[in-house]
Amino acid sequence: MDQKKVGRWFYDRYSPKKDENGKIVLMTKASFGPLEAYKWGINADNQLYEEYQWIENDFFKDENYVRIITPEEYLEVLRVQPVGNGWIDMICAPDDIEAFIDFCNVIGKTIKGFTWWCHVTEGHTPCGMGGPKSKYYEGWFSEIQMDDLIRFKDNESYRDYFRYEWPAETHYKECYWPGFWLKK
């Protein structure tokens, strides 16, 4: 499990495993003031879902829900930003790479490769060309000029690369974020 705090929300990410009801929980988001929680995952019918629970008291218990969501809606939860249309140049924050790979595995998508994007914030000189304003983070993205995608044999090879190899490479830059391309 991986945990981080953003504002008043605590995010927990899980290694995808089916529970006794056939559900796979991918991520939860909880607040302790007021006490409420969201849960995202795959249900027993292999559909992405979002679940919301108001826990603090009985005032808003009727607001609780479970709904089916699209892969694109879950990408918004992960704050993955596609640059174009479809499943290409999906810019992913370094802290969210493992959750993104888990998502790809669960929905049966194979990563085709990735390009690099420099996350440009105030005071940082862009490492590449132009690019879009970030929808979820401060700043914008500068596309790094490359001849081709960086490719590995399967999704787990990408996980290993970002976990072990990339941080140790001599050309490592903290501002570099991958833009994933997925196979159709």
Q: For residue range 6-36, list pLDDT tens digits in order.
A: 788 888 876 677 788 888 888 888 998 888 9
Please report, rounded to a whole number, the percentage of residues in the chain having pLDDT higher than 90: 61
Instruction: Reply yes or no on whether the pLDDT at 1 is more than 70.
Output: no
Helical H segments across the chain, by residue range: 71-78, 97-107, 155-160
Domain ranges (residues) in the chain: 2-69, 81-182
Q: pLDDT averaged over the chain?
A: 90
The pLDDT value given to residue 154: 97
27-54 mean pLDDT: 89
Instruction: Reply yes or no on whether the pLDDT at 144 is more than 80.
Output: yes
User: Contact 41/28 with Cβ under 8 angstroms?
Assistant: no
The letter for the amino acid at 164 is Y
The pLDDT value given to residue 147: 95
SS3 category, 87: coil
Buried-exposed string 146-162: b where 16+ CB fall within 10 A, e elsewhere:
eeeeeebeebeebbebb
* Residue 27, number of CB atoms within 10 A of its CB: 20
Interaxial angle between packed helices 71-78 and 97-107, expressed in degrees from 0 to 180 and rounded to the nearest 10? 170
- The residue with greater pLDDT, 115 or 9, is 115
Using a cut of 0.85, tell me whether the model's pTM lies above it: no
